[in-house]
């Protein structure tokens, strides 16, 4: 029991299980660090550092989102700070030239904020106003504000990397829960046991929707292409549809529990895949499912024969996708280790250049 709090901070399963508590903890620690740094050093305009920490870290729990938002904020802050400093310089020459420059930058940032620029473009215009004001701000204060924004972004990234809540871990744990749910639901349907199919399928679909929202962050955290993850999503959606239809017709036919039915093989494959995802054991995905029986060759095929054949093909396709995907997810290093490797690589490159 004494080791549990420390396990929460290092094991991905516990990090995701207590994601809200971990997120609150790291936001509080990052904010406290920024506050102490501001108070101890007497850094001017330290409030902008604290605001940046909350913007970068507060609303985006996963590392992929934090990293993207921090990089966009740092890029937008740099561009906006340069534009603000240019506005101050222009104001010393002509206030009208300063105002014209600000309108051009704001129009440019607004235009690109509606396209691919997004948050970075919008933040460029915001930082222009923060740093430059109306052009009559002292340059020293503008530089301090820019410095605080950059420091806040770095502190937010450091906190997210130290206590990493990765979207890829959340995605695979949700997938493991769905596969286990599908195995238990299909087994009960096939054996004609009481089952709350609607409730189970609603939970299945709710996890599927959450997984869909995690895909952009997963692709950023890992080397996986969006198409690879989308194939897994489609297989899950196919299973959901098949189980929904099975629950409707299974009561009127015994096809799912006949001798030679692939029920046990399908259930075992789903449970093994769920275990492989949760405990990083890709070797459990090596055994393929037996080939599905072709209902067209049967004398009296029923609805369930066709559904079971389709489910067998869907589960086998999912197993093959996970067999390729899971090792790539496991190979992704934790954010802190990845940052250290990058810093070492930069240091080695500098030494070799010297």
Residue pLDDT tens, the chain, 354 long: 444 555 556 677 777 777 788 888 888 999 999 999 998 988 887 888 888 888 878 776 777 777 777 777 778 878 888 888 888 888 888 888 888 888 888 888 888 777 666 778 887 887 788 777 776 767 777 778 778 888 888 888 888 777 777 888 889 999 999 999 999 888 888 777 766 657 778 888 899 999 998 888 888 878 788 888 899 999 999 999 888 887 776 666 554 555 556 778 888 999 999 999 988 888 998 888 877 666 555 555 566 777 888 888 899 999 999 999 888 888 877 665 544 444 444 344 434 433
Question: Of 114, 134, 162, which residue is a domain's last?
Answer: 162
Q: Looking at the domain assignment, is residue 8 inside a domain?
A: yes
pTM for this one?
0.72
Q: Looking at the domain assignment, is residue 277 inside a domain?
A: yes
Are 208 and 60 part of one and the same domain?
no
Are 111 and 202 part of one and the same domain?
no
Residue ranges of alpha helices (H) inside 197-302 are: 197-221, 226-249, 263-279
Are 77 and 223 part of one and the same domain?
no
Q: Give me the number of domains the chain comprises.
A: 2
Q: Looking at the domain assignment, is residue 202 inside a domain?
A: yes
How many Å apart are CA 261 and CA 138, to the nearest integer? 79
Are 31 and 133 part of one and the same domain?
yes
Question: Of 136, 162, 188, which residue is a domain's last?
Answer: 162
Q: How many CB atoms lie within 10 A of CB 97?
A: 15
Which has the closest alpha carbon to 43: 137, 144, 158?
144
Are 11 and 151 part of one and the same domain?
yes
Are 158 and 171 part of one and the same domain?
no
Q: Looking at the domain assignment, is residue 222 inside a domain?
A: yes
Range of the domain at 203: 167-334
Q: Give the pLDDT confidence of 297-354 residue by residue, as tens digits.
A: 555 556 677 788 888 889 999 999 999 988 888 887 766 554 444 444 434 443 443 3
Q: For position 238, what pLDDT does the model report?
A: 92
Element holding 43 (H helix, E strand): none
Q: For position 354, what pLDDT does the model report?
A: 39
Q: For position 231, what pLDDT does the model report?
A: 92
Q: Looking at the domain assignment, is residue 347 inside a domain?
A: no
Q: Looking at the domain assignment, is residue 119 inside a domain?
A: yes
Are 196 and 60 part of one and the same domain?
no
Are 183 and 98 part of one and the same domain?
no
How many Å apart are CA 84 and CA 103, to the nearest integer? 12
Q: For position 273, what pLDDT does the model report?
A: 93
Q: Is 39 helix (H, G, I), strand (E, B) or coil?
A: helix
DSSP state of 255: G
Are 119 and 141 part of one and the same domain?
yes
Are 131 and 171 part of one and the same domain?
no
Q: For position 235, what pLDDT does the model report?
A: 92
Q: Looking at the domain assignment, is residue 154 inside a domain?
A: yes
Q: Looking at the domain assignment, is residue 129 inside a domain?
A: yes
Q: For position 209, what pLDDT does the model report?
A: 92
Are 211 and 253 part of one and the same domain?
yes
Are 59 and 72 part of one and the same domain?
yes
Question: Of 119, 145, 162, which residue is a domain's last?
Answer: 162
Q: For position 33, what pLDDT does the model report?
A: 92
Q: For position 290, what pLDDT does the model report?
A: 79
Task: List, as own/partner pairs, every contact residues 180-183 make where C-beta atoms lie below 8 angstroms and the sequence separation is at least 24, other chains included.
Answer: 180/270, 180/271, 180/274, 182/239, 182/243, 182/270, 183/266, 183/267, 183/270, 183/271, 183/274
200 vs 159, 181, 258, CA distance in Å?
A: 37, 7, 24
């Amino acid at each position: 029991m004494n080791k549990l709090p420390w396990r929460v901070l290092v094991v991905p399963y516990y990090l995701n299980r207590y994601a809200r508590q971990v997120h609150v903890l790291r936001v509080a620690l990052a904010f406290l660090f920024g506050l102490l740094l501001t108070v101890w050093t007497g850094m001017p305009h330290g409030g902008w550092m604290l605001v940046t920490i909350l913007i970068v870290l507060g609303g985006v729990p996963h590392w992929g989102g934090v990293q993207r938002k921090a990089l966009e904020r740092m890029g937008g802050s740099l561009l906006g700070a340069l534009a603000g400093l240019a506005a101050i310089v222009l104001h010393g020459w002509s206030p009208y030239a300063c105002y014209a420059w600000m309108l051009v930058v704001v129009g440019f940032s607004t235009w690109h904020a509606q396209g691919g620029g997004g948050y970075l473009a919008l933040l460029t215009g915001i930082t222009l106003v923060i740093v430059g004001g109306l052009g009559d701000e002292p340059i020293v204060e503008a530089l301090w504000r820019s410095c605080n924004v950059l420091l806040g972004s770095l502190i937010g990234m450091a906190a997210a990397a130290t206590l990493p809540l990765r979207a890829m871990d959340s995605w695979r744990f949700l997938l493991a829960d769905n596969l286990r749910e599908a195995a238990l639901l299909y087994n009960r349907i096939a054996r004609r046991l009481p089952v709350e199919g609607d409730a189970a399928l609603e939970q299945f679909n709710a996890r599927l929707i959450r997984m869909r929202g995690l895909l952009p962050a997963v692709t950023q955290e890992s080397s996986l292409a969006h198409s690879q993850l989308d194939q897994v999503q489609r297989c899950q959606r196919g299973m959901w549809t098949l189980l929904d239809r099975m629950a409707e017709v299974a009561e009127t036919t015994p096809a799912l529990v006949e001798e030679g039915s692939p029920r046990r093989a399908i259930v075992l494959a789903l449970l093994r895949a769920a275990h492989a995802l949760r405990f990083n054991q890709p070797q459990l995905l090596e055994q393929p499912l037996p080939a599905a029986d072709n209902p067209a060759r049967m004398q009296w095929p029923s609805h369930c024969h066709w559904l079971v054949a389709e489910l067998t093909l869907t589960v086998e396709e999912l197993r093959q996708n996970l067999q390729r995907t899971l090792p790539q997810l496991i190979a992704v290093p934790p954010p802190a280790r990845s940052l250290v490797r990058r810093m070492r690589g930069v240091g080695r490159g500098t030494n070799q250049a010297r």
